[in-house]
Amino acid sequence: MLAIPIDKQSATTISKLYGNAPYFALVDEDLSVIVIDNIECGNGPKIAPFLKSIDVTATVFYHMGEGVYNSFVNNEIAVYSADKKPYTLDELYEDMKHSRLQKLDGDNYRNLLDPGSAASCQCGCNHG
């Protein structure tokens, strides 16, 4: 299952936020979408264990800091970059399914991560 951060329950596009996104759209293989509250909103590194507990296997971001990314690595959840494009949920899922999104790994993650400018960032990165 793919977790996509969104700004509103009715949103159809990815949020520019990650750790501070209030909701996640969960997209399964049948393209069924369920929207859930981000119960760890504002607690970036705690999001990965929360998503793992509900069987999320991958996520995609617009902005993400290194501390949050490391938590996903530690929880064995794949992380993909949206390359700062305002993707719709359907476009993201299709691009991931057809290997058109870049998956982060030990060699490329530093170049692809971007914590953005969230004033309440608690991911442990050094962007400040």
Single-letter code of the amino acid located at 42? G
pLDDT of the chain, 128 residues: tens digit per residue: 999 999 999 999 999 999 999 999 999 888 889 999 999 999 999 999 999 999 999 999 999 999 999 999 999 999 999 999 999 988 988 898 899 999 999 999 999 998 876 544 444 444 33
Q: Kindly state which CATH superfamily the domain 2-112 is placed in.
A: Dinitrogenase iron-molybdenum cofactor biosynthesis domain (3.30.420.130)
Question: The whole model's pTM is what?
Answer: 0.88
* Domain regions of the chain by residue span: 2-112
Geometric angle at alpha carbon 88, from 116 and 54, rounded to 5°: 80
| 51 closest CA partner among 85, 86, 25 | 25
- Distance from chain centroid for Cα 15: 9
In whole angstroms, what is the distance from residue 104 CA to residue 112 CA? 7
